[in-house]
A and B are shown apart, each in its own frame.
Chain A
């Protein structure tokens, strides 16, 4: 199915309608495991954004040459190549950024969201559209991670971006992976509720 959306629609689609964490519920393990602080969430978000855009463009470019039977291995290979390339380049030319992001980049190879986006979108659309879809999905993931990180860091450790905000630790429980699920569930509810209200308003207007 070829998408007819404009770039801005694609980006908003990734951020809200098909937000990877809160609507598609993909890549939950890293989302729950890593989103303990805003900084961690942001770093993983940036890393995913990079790899998603690069892989989407690559697959959109070579989609006509891939035998349909081996498309999934090819996707994995593409993602792995990009992850390795970004990891090596960062470690060589941006040691400061690598120190902060290194461990997150290596995690990405097994992310469901990237493979899924290649399968659903990039292998059927043009390079330009895939690029914007990658941006949207990456931003959506980053948005989700930062939101989760914000809630968990504030409630779990009483800090934001490492700065002491509250001066005490309200609920240490929020720093644990278990609380990640609670936060994701809570955010999903918020998303669903907003959609409900939005649709009702649309109905009234129409």
Chain B
């Protein structure tokens, strides 16, 4: 009996000590960690838009996140778009309630600014103020509109889709006509050396420049990647001056409508990424066209 007691107390104490250490480390590091993650995403987005340390983003570049919620009103589903809008000089979020056919049902003013809207809990409290129970809402996804001055520069879409092993998380950049501007693989756990090669420039850069119409019929071909195309895709890694402007233009034209060359030994990974990107772009284009229509018809003063 005494032994049991000693074992129980011993285990409890060691667990408590471990919990205490882990908890205190977490509280100390949490802020810095979140900041790092935020900066990381920010850098990825700027990188996709073609900006880097040597080529910094201009001051007139602004990023406007749009959050999409699914709102369930006693069995009837609505789409809720949280869009940033200018009201009396201040930028606040508005919630647009669209039915599934794409017609506007209602708009709500939310008491939330773009800075605080980054936190999911802050957004939920703000929506809760206008959407009362029993109506429920769930977060679906988000996208970011990049503006250069008053012109739309690109859409940045975070997303995920199943790869060969687990989910692949990506960030996709589309220009206003839904042509792919850039692709970055944020997280993946494919086989190293095989499917893991999807993160390499010579695979992911193949998507750049594919137009919306081409994407719809994009296929994966099991052919070896032509050497000049590989060098073109990896040109950022290689020395400058390898290609002249004219050569670059020629290669771009030659491969603009080519399909995706599969990775050696990883056809399934290549296929999943291609299908994932196609689905993402198709859904996004459909939704954005609907949303743009509503915004234009109702003259909503959105920031983008």
Name the A residues within 8 Å of B32 (CB-CB).
92-93
In the complex the two chains form, is A67's CB within 8 Å of B7's CB?
yes
Known: A69-B3, A77-B15, A169-B264. A93 touches B29 (CB 8 A): yes
What is the minimal beta-carbon distance from A206 to any residue of chain B, in angstroms? Answer: 47
Q: Does B53 contact A (CB under 8 A)?
A: no
Interchain CB contact under 8 A, A70 and B192? no
Which label, helix, strand, loop or mixed, suits the secondary structure of the A interface?
Answer: helix
Q: Taking the complex as formed, is B26 at the interface, i.e. its CB lies under 8 A from any CB of chain A?
A: yes
Q: Which residues of B contact A69 (CB under 8 A)?
A: 3, 7
> What mask results when residues 38 to 63 of chain B are scored 1 for a CB within 8 Å of chain A, else 0?
01100000000000000000000000
Q: Given the complex, which residues of B lie within 8 Å of A13, measured CB to CB? A: none
Q: How far is the CB of A152 from the nearest CB of chain B, in Å?
A: 8
Q: Which of B11, B21, B31, B36 contacts A73 (CB 8 A)?
A: B11
Q: Does A24 contact B (CB under 8 A)?
A: no
Count the B residues whose beta carbon is within 8 Å of the partner chain — how many? 28
B191 lies within 8 A of A91 (CB): no
Total contacting residues, chain A, CB less than 8 A = 31
Q: At the interface, yes or no: A110 with Cβ under 8 Å from chain B? A: no
Indicate if the CB atoms of B25 and A88 lie closer than 8 Å: yes
Give chain B nearest CB distance to A66 CB in angstroms: 7
| B14/A77 in contact, CB under 8 A | yes
Q: Which of chain A's residues has its CB closest to B193's CB?
A: A175
- Please indicate which of the listed interface residues B6, B14, B15, B32 has the most CB atoms of chain A within 10 Å of its own CB: B14
Complex alpha-carbon distance, A160 and B194, angstroms = 16
Contact yes or no, A40 B192, CB < 8 A? yes
A172 contacts across to B, CB distance below 8 A: 194, 264-265
- Whether B22 sits at the interface, judged by CB under 8 Å, is yes
Tell me if A20 is interfacial: C-beta within 8 Å of chain B. no
Instruction: Return chain A residues, CB-CB under 8 Å to B6.
Output: 67
**Stretch with Cβ within 8 A of B (4 or more), from A78-86, A140-148, A190-198:** A78-86
A123 to chain B minimum Cβ distance, whole angstroms, is 14
CA distance A70 to B7 in the complex (A): 7
Identify which of A67, A91, A175 contacts B192 (C-beta below 8 A). A175
B residues with CB within 8 A of A: 3, 6-7, 10-11, 14-15, 18, 21-22, 25-26, 28-33, 36, 39-40, 189, 191-194, 264-265
